[in-house]
Amino acid sequence: MVKLRNPQNEHRERFKNAQLAHTGTRGDDMQEKPYFCPNCRSNRIKFSVITSYSQSFLKDALSGNITEFKDPDAIAEPEPTIQCLVCSFTGNELRFIKQAEREPRMNSSTTPHY
């Protein structure tokens, strides 16, 4: 299996696959639970979901040119990988959920609203 970034299609394909995931056709749906970054412990709002794709392609053996791209396939993972957009920490979704459960947001908190 070869991982390859294809800049021209990447964004569109990611979006398409994200939509698929959201409709429950894949097993890696994100949970609708609060997240809290266990690293910087200041972010509950801004995250990114990391998904790996495999895209096979054919190469010309002499010139090295890529002659054909297959459709990318999302690599199935047991749970989504989440990235904190504040400190760039990346970890399993469960770590973010557990941290939020340990330190639930207080109504009286002085944390500013975004």
Report the interface residues with Zn ion, using CB under 5 A.
Answer: 37, 39-40, 43, 84, 86-87, 89
Residue closer to Zn ion, measured from CB, 37 or 97: 37
CB of 62 to Zn ion, least distance (A): 48
- For the bound state, the minimum distance from the C-beta of residue 104 to Zn ion, rounded and expressed in Å, comes to 17
User: What would the two tokens of residue 110 be?
Assistant: 């002085």
For residue 114, the Cα-to-chain-centroid distance in whole angstroms is: 22
CA angle in degrees (0–180, nearest 5) for 85-108-94: 40
Q: How many CB atoms lie within 10 A of CB 12?
A: 9
> With respect to Zn ion, which residue has the nearer C-beta, 6 or 88?
88
Rounded to an integer, what is the distance from CA 61 to the centroid of its chain?
34
Nearer to Zn ion, 82 or 84 (CB): 84
Amino acid at 112: P
Q: How far is the CB of 113 from Zn ion (least distance, A)?
A: 18
